[in-house]
Amino acid sequence: MNPPEIDTQNRVTFRVNAPEAREVKVINLSDEMAMGAAEYSLTKGDDGIWWVRTNPCRPGYHYYQLSIDGFKGADPESQAYFGWGRWTSGLEVPSTEITFYQPKNNPKGDVIVHWYFSEITQAMRKCLVYTPPSYRTDITRKYPVLYLQHGAGESELGWTMQGKMNFILDNLLAEGKAKEMMIVMDNGYAASPDAENKARPSGDENLFEEVINNELIPEIDKNYRTIVSRESRAIAGLSMGAGQAMRIGLSHLELFSGIGVFSGGVRNFNKETSFSGVFKNVDKLNKDINLLWIGCGYLDRGFENIQQFHRELEDLGVNHVWHEMDGSHEWQVWRHHLYEFAQLVFK
């Protein structure tokens, strides 16, 4: 076994056993500086093992893949995660300063795999449900629910595997910084029965909004101890999921009172026409939304657009929270966003 090794300077040593190969590379799938360079060429040793030591990498989670004689695929020596529309490799570069997403010696919530049949898509669907530690012991208590969405090319697994959602919530709850809540993570792709691409339907072929409103919410309320009210229901997401959170949340304020928008959610904003014109009546909107939270990293390609949206909301007088921080379109930023959002939602 030759798993990637990370030294104290956050340099990563990769080793690949491919004695017959002519060329081996590590391809960084995150932004270039996440792993110190866009790609690295490995050197073949006398034992047939190819190796390279990278430049210092930025703390956080980064996608990468191997290229062996032009064939690109996951590193068999690393943990596989679902991202980029496939199972691929991920590198977790630790931080000595940021620990809010690390597992600690405190009470742990559960992450439950919940299957249900969707009449809308005519298919079985799977969502993940986080329940806080007290859910097991206080069997009469009911909880608010956050519906939390992943990004494009990812799945319902992302917020747990890549995002460390459960550890973030466990730590916040142990410190008394967040209200106890359930978190539901479903797949943002819900293909219509006749969709051409079942795995990644687009446009009118993606029926996720219909599924979450008419099937998922009733399914969760039926099977878990939830507080069944809009005041105790919120929706948030990253990138593609941010757009879903904005569109679904603002279109269904009878269902949701909180909206979290992480690194996405809006393009070409127009107060008269965007989101069915809901921003035309600011007074009503401010009464209907308990929390509208918007965040983005400075290095994100969409930062200026999202920052401009924030400024337009300020000019309109729309109550919201704006959070900008270092980082790009990456899980380290979205971990921070959830950490901050979870401290405000349902309060």
- The pLDDT tens digits of the residues spanning 214-230 come to 999 999 999 999 999 99
How many CB atoms are located within 10 Å of the residue 321 CB? 15
pLDDT tens per residue across span 151-174: 999 999 999 999 999 999 999 999
Contact 304, 273 (CB under 8 A): no
Contact 347, 179 (CB under 8 A): yes
Token readout for 275 is 């989101």
**Which residue spans of the chain are classified as CATH 2.60.40.10?**
5-93
The whole-number pLDDT of residue 36 equals 94
Distance from C-alpha of 81 to C-alpha of 63, rounded to nearest angstrom:
9
Distance from C-alpha of 196 to C-alpha of 138, rounded to nearest angstrom:
46
Distance from C-alpha of 341 to C-alpha of 295, rounded to nearest angstrom:
9
Q: Average model confidence (pLDDT) for the chain?
A: 96
244, pLDDT greater than 80: yes
pLDDT band at 265 (very low <50, low <70, confident <90, very high): confident
**Which residue spans of the chain are classified as CATH 3.40.50.1820?**
110-342
Considering the domain 5-93, what is its CATH architecture?
Sandwich (2.60)
Residue 73's nearest CA partner among 59, 60, 88, 58 is 88
Residue 20 CB contacts under 8 Å (≥ 6 apart), including other chains: none
pLDDT band at 1 (very low <50, low <70, confident <90, very high): low
pLDDT tens per residue across span 200-215: 998 899 999 999 999 9
pLDDT tens per residue across span 307-333: 999 999 999 999 999 999 999 999 999
Token readout for 294 is 């918007």
Fold of 110-342: Rossmann fold (3.40.50)
Contact 78, 3 (CB under 8 A): yes
